Structure formats: C-alpha cells, structure tokens
Amino acid sequence: MLSIPDMAILGVLALLVFGEKKLPGVMRQAGKMMRDVQNTSQSFLREMDRAADIREPAPVIDTPATAELPFEPALPIEPEKSIEPGKEAGR
C-alpha cells in the first residue's frame, strides 16, 4: 500500500510525464483498464466456484452378474448338473 507522500510523488511525476492536458485522459484509460481487470478476475472466480459446485455423476460399477471377464475362460463354464439321490454322477 502506498503512503500519502508516495502517491503525491507519483502524481507529480505523472503530471510531468503526461502534461496537464493529457493526464485526465490517461487516468481515465487507466481506470477503465483496472475495472476491466477486476471484472475479468471476478468472472473467472465465479466460474471456478460454479464449476466446483457441480456434482459429478457417480461412476457405474459393474456387478458380478454383469461384469465382463478380463480374459477368456480356459474351459466353458457350464451349470452344475444335479445328482439325484441314489445315482452316481456321470452315469
């Protein structure tokens, strides 16, 4: 932050550099530029806040019934055959 004597020195230097006729126009342009920078930065911050508030959809997780195997099984998967009581399997 500039102190009052620092701002006075800057004012005198600006008056000497730009002259009394051009100084108001230069200061007006500087004010417009500062306002544009502030508006742009506020717009950027609002957009970042809005983007952070958006909820992302939950990822879809495959259940074992719908999951794909990462490889081909060596043997075909067949359902087990029920064995009737009193009979041996395979006969």
**What is the per-residue pLDDT for 34?**
95
Lowest-pLDDT choice from 7-11, 45-49, 86-90: 86-90
**What is the per-residue pLDDT for 1?**
79
pLDDT band at 42 (very low <50, low <70, confident <90, very high): very high
Place of tokens 């100084």: 23
pLDDT band at 75 (very low <50, low <70, confident <90, very high): low
Q: Please tell me the pTM assigned to this model.
A: 0.48
Arithmetic mean of pLDDT over the chain: 80
